[in-house]
Structure 1
Amino acid sequence: MTDGVRGARCMVATGHPLAADAAHRMLRSGGSAVDAAIAADAVLGVVEPMATGIGGDLLAMLVRPEGGAESYNGTGRAPAAFHPGLLDTLPEGRIPQRHPLSVTTPGAVQGWWDLHRAHGRLDWAHLLMPAMQVARNGFAVAPVAAREWALFEPVLRQDPACAALYRAGGVPKAGERFANPALSDVLAAIAREGPDAFYRGMPAQAAAAAVQGMGGVLDAADFVAHRGNFCEPLSQGFRDLQVLACPPNTHGMAVLDALARLDGLPLAASDPQVFVQAVGAMGAAMRRAKETVADPAGNTVCTVVVDADGLAISLMSSIFKRFGSGIAVPGCGFVLQNRGFGFSAPGHINGPAPGKRPYHTVVPGAALKDGRFYAAFGVVGGAMQPQGQVQLLLRIAAWGEAPQAALDAPRWRLESDTALAIEAGMPSPVVEALRAAGYTDPVGSGELGGRSDFGGAQWVMRDVDGGLIGASDKRKDGLARSE
């Protein structure tokens, strides 16, 4: 179906069927879109441990039923004990990709709590029940998750606790069951006691001990000090929409910058040069973001929900690189994120400092039409996030494509100023135009072994008849469901 899933009242689009089930349980119980999104996100942290979890961060974009929007920044900060002198012996004075100094304070649990206090309806503990049950009873590992689990199995080996938790040397295959009772216990404590069970309890103390034991400086006091915040979104007109993005420390501004460069152009769908223009606009926008915010990369999950009252949320969480820092918290069932790798060298605007938030790749998005909700969306995949959003908005807002068809269409991905990966299935005239413009096929190794990640999108929009259309990316394990 190229149109997408249709529904009259509620819609969920998320990256795993069990997450969709959790969201619908909340909606059927009278919960809000925020309740549903939190429940789904908690499940995703169980079933996609290479992408997200309570050791990571959270950002969200919300559109209220009466119009107006707000974003939430739940990203964590560098430890208070961090100082640039710690980098003196490291290559180029940068924090390595997976290193004890790359660990920043997790913000996801506090983010769930803050969002629930502002927009939730159900009892807090009810939201975490599905994730607790899935972690306790186990689940069948989905195909895309199994493929990434195997691909990044070497990451698990650098920490004995991580290797034991995620079965290094015998990672689960697609369809094989995996359970995480330690994580279920931590979620149960959070359900009973709220975020203090995480930020002032055993998980914070065990995390600090694990990181410090490897030479890092994260401390239990950094957990106690963590705060998230609501803020006003950035916005930019594109065709007849007002597109919203989270402000820095994310690179959401790159989406709006690229759209501003494209909005005045004809953008005929039949013209291959439109792809050249789009890639050029995106490249310029990402260079500007790199100069004014930081350096991008990463991995994420996304859940989009619209409830029967019209409240919409795009909630995205992440532990950054696959399996984050690769440092597991003993006895707690999760790994810590490595967002500190997003810092630039000292002296850059994004240089590391005590208590500072690094450049963040997570960019939940939304769009208004005539001041009211039109769509909420997200594209996972680090640097693919702004690139994917621009490509989807080009197809849906400028070309009038149906959501699922737009999500299914082949994509491109800039990997440097001139290196452009092009997904299989892209029409030959477009490929020829892009290569003729000087964009070369990426070569080399690196963590992905030359494999480009074209992301995974979730999209929910209001149709002209007032109904909802949901679409979920086939590059991931998820789906869209109406209620």
Structure 2
Amino acid sequence: MNLNQYPYPSRRNVVTGKRGAVATSQPQAALAGMEMMLAGGNAVDAALAMAIALTVLEPTSNGIGSDAFALVHDGQKLHGLNGSGMSPAGLDFATFAASGQVPTRGWLPVTVPGAPDAWRELHQKFGRLPFEQLFEPAIRYAEEGFAVSPETGRNWWRLEAVYGPLQDPCYKPFKEVFMPGGKAPRPGEIWRSPRHAETLRELARTHAESFYHGKLAAQMADFAAATGGYLTRADLAAHRSEWVEPLSVRYKGLELHEIPPAGQGLAALMALKILEGLGLERYPRDSAEGLHLQIEAMKLAFADVQKYVADPRFMTVSPADLLNPDYLAQRRRLIGERALAVQAGAPKGGTVYLCAADGELQVSFIQSNYMGFGAGIVADGTGISLQNRGACFVLEEGHPNQYAPAKKPFHTIIPGFLTQGGQPLGPFGVMGGHMQPQGHLQVVVNLEDYRLNPQAALDAPRWQWTRGLQVELEQSLPPHVVFGLKERGHEVVLQSEWASFGRGQMILRSREAFLAATEPRADGMALAW
């Protein structure tokens, strides 16, 4: 792939710069990242400032109580960081499963948040600026307030109907922080969170130590004990981020890298390798024939990932087994002219993605609560919105992802990274539950098979398989594609909600310049200098 030759235009121009670039889903967060670069910081400093700022600027998707994952290329090697936490050690299966279904709100699905420790780990390994400096933009936004952006405001308003009716006392602090006056702030309204600012100061001052062993840990554990929760000081103190070896496959002229399980990045790798042998290049971009092959490859990969992927300590089938060429060839042979009725789950989303690059480092970073604000629980007096990642467990007896105490759940959030000929090309990601590996596949295909530039690759119309034979399409796909997929047995749903198809960013290096892009499905901004 030659990054200097793109035959297709995009709706917006790629942002270009020589020294560095940042991209994320909120303009103010992108400015926070660039603020660090202009102060002499590197790409990791910029990425962390964006991640911390996003806990204030886009609380509908992430918070201080999130998990996080990262891929960082230092020019020589790609490093993977797993910043996900475990279920409480004192919450047994019988209690978790008492209702007969996987819980989604309240204390039961709360797992130990890994984001603050991930920030600290990344800074210790790669950061250049003082840790405290990375928090300054986020504290400023929390104290002084900011105008809620359009897409975030729309999501906030929509989630008001989900969290507003919750009546248990454990939800009271959440409503005080995120639904002031009993309602969500609308786009353009100013929202402030002084408690959030105080917590960020405490995290900055203690280098996140307070979150796991100090004042903040005590506040979270005491609030849990007072309101029927299960998170304890011991659970928080036991947490550690994990440096991991990324999983990788070669797809034609590109190499795609993903974080290993318990994340679902393996689905993108499997689908691309299944697709590679199907002759996709024979068909035009956005043709029924080409989309059919992509959808079928994705469905087969998802079926396996949903069945086998979990906390690695509990997996009985390894990633190497699932990426075995003979096995993938066997899966590929199942694809024909008609849609396959492959069954797998379809988790929902609530995630922020960001990337940053300079002459030394390139960073792919993703951070998330789940299903919007997460559990609907804020530890009183802190502004820490806790994730509900336990909702990704299953109750099925014998399944590797069955709930158990002190276990990491299956994880939907996945940062992506591309290399070419072993050399770093750049970070990218697509937010949105189980849309994420599907978005990774579509972006890689657009770059490699159809030679789109980064902006055009993100702008391109999207599809997503949801379950069974059902496929959702963006309405910008032409009617003949819709009819062509229906003729092949796909149950097509034209989806008007474009946020359902993910929200991505990308920075790729082309010779001496960086090409940065963010897509119109988010409020995002890409900046380069």
Sort the TM-score into its range (normalised by shorter chain).
over 0.9
Deviations 1:382-424 (A, max 9, x none): 1111111111111111110111112111111111121111111
1:340 deviates by: 0.3
Q: Which residue of 1 aligns with 2:506?
A: 459
Given the alignment of the two structures, is residue 80 of structure 1 paired with residue 89 of structure 2, yes or no? yes
| CA–CA distance in structure 1, aligned partners of residues 357 and 451 of structure 2 | 22
1:3 deviates by: 4.4
From 234, 241, 266, the equivalent of 2:254 is: 241
| CA–CA distance in structure 2, aligned partners of residues 436 and 75 of structure 1 | 42
Q: Which residue of 2 aligns with 1:318?
A: 368
1:441 deviates by: 3.6
| CA–CA distance in structure 1, aligned partners of residues 149 and 99 of structure 2 | 38
- Say if 1:451 and 1:313 are closer, same or farther in 2 by CA, change over 3 A: closer
1:195 deviates by: 1.2
Given the alignment of the two structures, is residue 115 of structure 1 paired with residue 144 of structure 2, yes or no? no
Backbone CA RMSD of aligned residues: 1.8
From 507, 515, 521, the equivalent of 1:475 is: 521
From 98, 102, 110, the equivalent of 1:103 is: 110
- Say if 1:387 and 1:88 are closer, same or farther in 2 by CA, change over 3 A: closer
Tell me the SS of whatever aligns to 2:424: strand
| CA–CA distance in structure 1, aligned partners of residues 22 and 93 of structure 2 | 44
Q: How does 1:176-195 map onto structure 2 within 5 Å?
A: 176-195=189-208
Q: How does 1:333-352 map onto structure 2 within 5 Å?
A: 333-345=383-395, 346-352=397-403
Given the alignment of the two structures, is residue 422 of structure 1 paired with residue 473 of structure 2, yes or no? yes
Q: TM-score, normalised by structure 1?
A: 0.95
| CA–CA distance in structure 2, aligned partners of residues 39 and 88 of structure 1 | 38
Deviations 1:214-253 (A, max 9, x none): 4331112111111011111000111111110000010000
CA contact (8 A) 1:7 1:467 kept: yes
- Say if 1:274 and 1:441 are closer, same or farther in 2 by CA, change over 3 A: closer
Q: How does 1:427-446 map onto structure 2 within 5 Å?
A: 427-442=478-493
Aligned AA (2:509) = R
Q: Which residue of 2 aligns with 1:289?
A: 305
- Structure 2: runs of 5+ lacking an equivalent: 1-10, 311-344
| CA–CA distance in structure 1, aligned partners of residues 60 and 124 of structure 2 | 28
Tell me the SS of whatever aligns to 2:467: coil
Aligned AA (1:470) = A
| CA–CA distance in structure 1, aligned partners of residues 364 and 480 of structure 2 | 35
Q: Which residue of 1 aligns with 2:19?
A: 9
CA contact (8 A) 1:14 1:20 kept: yes
1:334 deviates by: 2.6
Of stretches 46-55 and 152-161 in structure 1, the one that deviates more from structure 2 is 152-161
| CA–CA distance in structure 2, aligned partners of residues 80 and 189 of structure 1 | 26
| CA–CA distance in structure 2, aligned partners of residues 116 and 468 of structure 1 | 23
Aligned AA (2:505) = Q
| CA–CA distance in structure 1, aligned partners of residues 13 and 113 of structure 2 | 37
| CA–CA distance in structure 1, aligned partners of residues 499 and 49 of structure 2 | 30
1:95 deviates by: 2.7
Q: Which residue of 2 aligns with 1:231?
A: 244
CA contact (8 A) 1:32 1:307 kept: yes
| CA–CA distance in structure 2, aligned partners of residues 201 and 396 of structure 1 | 47
Of stretches 165-174 and 37-46 in structure 1, the one that deviates more from structure 2 is 165-174
1:452 deviates by: 6.8
Tell me the SS of whatever aligns to 1:129: helix
Aligned AA (1:388) = G
| CA–CA distance in structure 2, aligned partners of residues 229 and 480 of structure 1 | 29
CA contact (8 A) 1:95 1:101 kept: no
- Structure 1: runs of 5+ lacking an equivalent: none
1:155 deviates by: 3.2
| CA–CA distance in structure 1, aligned partners of residues 257 and 207 of structure 2 | 31
Q: Which residue of 1 aligns with 2:155?
A: 148
Given the alignment of the two structures, is residue 307 of structure 1 paired with residue 358 of structure 2, yes or no? yes
CA contact (8 A) 1:155 1:323 kept: no
- Say if 1:461 and 1:478 are closer, same or farther in 2 by CA, change over 3 A: same
1:156 deviates by: 2.9
Aligned AA (1:95) = V
| CA–CA distance in structure 2, aligned partners of residues 416 and 450 of structure 1 | 18
Aligned AA (1:86) = T
Tell me the SS of whatever aligns to 2:86: coil
Tell me the SS of whatever aligns to 1:102: coil
CA contact (8 A) 1:253 1:289 kept: yes
Given the alignment of the two structures, is residue 162 of structure 1 paired with residue 171 of structure 2, yes or no? no
Tell me the SS of whatever aligns to 2:116: helix
Of stretches 225-234 and 264-273 in structure 1, the one that deviates more from structure 2 is 264-273
| CA–CA distance in structure 1, aligned partners of residues 498 and 141 of structure 2 | 31
Structure 1 runs (4+) deviating above 6 angstroms are: 448-452
CA contact (8 A) 2:474 2:498 kept: no
Deviations 1:82-121 (A, max 9, x none): 2112135222xx4311131100000000000000001101
Q: Which residue of 2 aligns with 1:129?
A: 136
CA contact (8 A) 2:485 2:492 kept: no
From 242, 246, 258, the equivalent of 2:271 is: 258
Given the alignment of the two structures, is residue 362 of structure 1 paired with residue 372 of structure 2, yes or no? no
| CA–CA distance in structure 1, aligned partners of residues 26 and 497 of structure 2 | 26
Tell me the SS of whatever aligns to 2:491: coil
Tell me the SS of whatever aligns to 1:100: coil
| CA–CA distance in structure 1, aligned partners of residues 464 and 82 of structure 2 | 26
From 10, 25, 28, the equivalent of 2:38 is: 28
Q: Which residue of 1 aligns with 2:66?
A: 56
Q: Which residue of 2 aligns with 1:204?
A: 217
1:467 deviates by: 1.2
From 291, 296, 299, the equivalent of 1:275 is: 291
Give identity over the alignment, percent. 36
1:306 deviates by: 0.5
Tell me the SS of whatever aligns to 1:41: helix
| CA–CA distance in structure 2, aligned partners of residues 458 and 10 of structure 1 | 15
1:172 deviates by: 0.9
1:274 deviates by: 0.8
Q: Which residue of 1 aligns with 2:316?
A: none
| CA–CA distance in structure 2, aligned partners of residues 71 and 430 of structure 1 | 38
Of stretches 9-18 and 208-217 in structure 1, the one that deviates more from structure 2 is 208-217
Q: TM-score, normalised by structure 2?
A: 0.87
| CA–CA distance in structure 1, aligned partners of residues 251 and 419 of structure 2 | 10
| CA–CA distance in structure 2, aligned partners of residues 78 and 181 of structure 1 | 29
1:456 deviates by: 0.0
Of stretches 119-128 and 295-304 in structure 1, the one that deviates more from structure 2 is 295-304
Tell me the SS of whatever aligns to 2:280: coil
From 375, 378, 398, the equivalent of 1:328 is: 378
Deviations 1:328-354 (A, max 9, x none): 111111310000000111421001112
Aligned AA (2:244) = C
| CA–CA distance in structure 2, aligned partners of residues 173 and 238 of structure 1 | 43
